[in-house]
């Protein structure tokens, strides 16, 4: 009976490992995209500011450029929300396993460290 429980617990831990690895890949991907988008937004904002000073573009061009900044900002915000949501899913999943008693807190802690999720 004890061996069966240990086997189930091991299977649970392995499933959790798989889930966390998948999330870790997704989170890393989102973080990388976010860094690129943040850099793109900063560069675009700087270009717009410089353009306004040097060439005084017409109003419609200015508003188009500012719309691009708004779009980029919204895209980044959406990515950050997505990242936050995924992190919350990870935490919820881990808490679920701890509450069910299928894994000890120490094992979970090691898993979290191993997958560098938080």
Residue pLDDT, tens place only, 64-103: 888 988 998 898 888 888 888 887 877 777 777 667 665 5
Residue 37 has pLDDT above 80, yes or no: yes
- CA dist 20 and 95 (Å) reads 13
Please give the model's pTM, rounded to 2 decimal places. 0.58
- CA dist 69 and 90 (Å) reads 32
User: At 57, is the secondary structure helix, strand, or coil?
Assistant: coil
- CA dist 43 and 61 (Å) reads 17
Within its chain, how far is the Cα of 2 from the centroid? Answer: 39
Number of domains in the chain: 1
Residue 5 has pLDDT above 70, yes or no: no
Mean pLDDT for the chain?
A: 77
Q: Give the domain extent around 6.
A: 2-115
CB 115 within 8 A of CB 20: yes
């Amino acid at each position: 009976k004890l061996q069966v429980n240990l086997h189930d617990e091991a299977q649970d831990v392995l499933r959790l490992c798989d889930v966390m690895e998948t999330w870790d890949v997704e989170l890393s991907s989102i973080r990388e995209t976010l860094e690129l988008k943040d850099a793109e937004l900063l560069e675009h904002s700087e270009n717009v500011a410089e353009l306004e000073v040097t060439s005084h573009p017409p109003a419609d061009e200015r508003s188009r450029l500012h719309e691009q900044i708004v779009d980029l900002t919204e895209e980044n915000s959406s990515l950050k929300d997505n990242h936050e949501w995924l992190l919350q899913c990870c935490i919820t999943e881990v808490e679920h396993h701890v509450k069910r008693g299928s894994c000890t807190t120490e094992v979970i802690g090691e898993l979290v460290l191993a997958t560098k999720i938080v």
